[in-house]
Amino acid sequence: MMEIFAAPLQGLTDHIWRNTHSRVFAGCISRYYTPFLRIEKGAFRNKDLREITPANNTCRALVPQVIACPIEQFTQLIDKVASMGYHEIDINMGCPFAPIVKRHCGSGIIPYPDEVAALLNTAKKYTGINFSIKMRLGIDNPDEWRTLMPIITDFAPTHVTLHPRTAKQQYSGELHLAQFHNFYTAATFPVVYNGDITTKADIERIATEYPHLRAVMVGRGLLANPAINTPNLDSYNETRLLAQLHDQLFGQYQSQLCGDSHLLSKMKSLWEYFLAGRGSRKSRKKIIKSTTIEKYRLAVEEFWPSLNDSTTDQ
């Protein structure tokens, strides 16, 4: 059975979400990856440090991620993660957002093989740490990865997770599956697939097409379908577990956040992805437009039965 890794999404897959998902859907995800740790204005961001603090994380096999960035900052990031006792780090060479890319960070480093080589040669010095890489095909061109293949091969990462889009595409547009196939067949290291996985059938299709994949990494698809890799689950038990996940997240955020307004904002942000396209649109609209906790709770209670009601307004 293909292993599933949980992709990091800034502001969404925080430690509360990871811990809760791991508890409710125990054993379905092999590894959870943190949103990338970075340095801003010469210092670590406190919220990033909270996210990787071991005491805050109870989920299975947590892997911190650091952003590919200038060497001085890169070593600071690795040193900080290593000091917390981690022995595996993921290097983000895939972030597509323009402010990151223009600084040659994230996917912005891909067109600069000398910078990639310097970065990975620095990582090689940390003999007690295993490194993986998450990357895109390129910035503008889907074949920019080719110049990096000898460098990555020499680095020998534990695996490379490839999202088969360019940074320019962000998260929409055509998946360049032919380029993914070329990368997959050329790689001498394990490869993980990431991109537009929303159903169990998607996982099975990718696993069949690429039988030697190390794993499939799921991001937005896991937020939308938290039970995506749960075997032998009928609709009744799926709804029960989804409601359990929601209620535990609500309780955890309620204990951590300041006030109803902050809590509502956080929960509504989850519903941008959570069970998207399923259940009653009318109930979902009530959830998104709720202005008090009481209205929110009532709207959520109204939503659950609609998941299994084929006659409901979709």
The model's pTM is 0.94
pLDDT-derived band at 313 (thresholds 50, 70, 90) equals low
148 and 142 Cβ atoms separated by less than 8 Å: no
226-230-233 Cα angle (round to 5)? 105
pLDDT-derived band at 176 (thresholds 50, 70, 90) equals very high
Give the pLDDT confidence score for residue 118 in this predicted structure: 97
153 and 189 Cβ atoms separated by less than 8 Å: yes
Q: What's the mean pLDDT in 172-176?
A: 95
Give the pLDDT confidence score for residue 84 in this predicted structure: 96
206 and 181 Cβ atoms separated by less than 8 Å: no
105 pLDDT more than 60: yes
Q: What's the mean pLDDT in 257-277?
A: 95
CB-based contacts of 252, cutoff 8 Å, min separation 6: 16, 19, 20
Q: How far apart are CA 253 and CA 20, in angstroms?
A: 11
243 pLDDT more than 60: yes
Give the pLDDT confidence score for residue 311 in this predicted structure: 47
Q: How far apart are CA 23 and CA 34, in angstroms?
A: 17
Q: What's the mean pLDDT in 144-160?
A: 98
Report DSSP letters for the chain, one per residue.
---EEEPP-TTTS-HHHHHHHHHHTTTS-SEEEPPPB-EETTEE-HHHHHHH-GGG--SSSEE-EEE---HHHHHHHHHHHHHTT--EEEEEE----HHHHTTT-GGGGTT-HHHHHHHHHHHHT-TT-EEEEEEEEESS-TTGGGGGHHHHHHH--S-EEEEEEEGGGTT-S---HHHHHHHHHH-SS-EEEES---SHHHHHHHHHHSTT-SEEEESHHHHH-TTTT-SS--HHHHHHHHHHHHHHHHHHHHHHSSHHHHHHHHHHHHHTTTTTT-S-HHHHHHHHH--SHHHHHHHHHHHHHHTT-TTS--
1 pLDDT more than 90: no
Q: How do residues 182-206 score in pLDDT, each as one tens digit?
A: 999 999 999 999 999 999 999 999 9
pLDDT-derived band at 4 (thresholds 50, 70, 90) equals very high
Residues of the chain with pLDDT > 90, as a percent, come to: 94
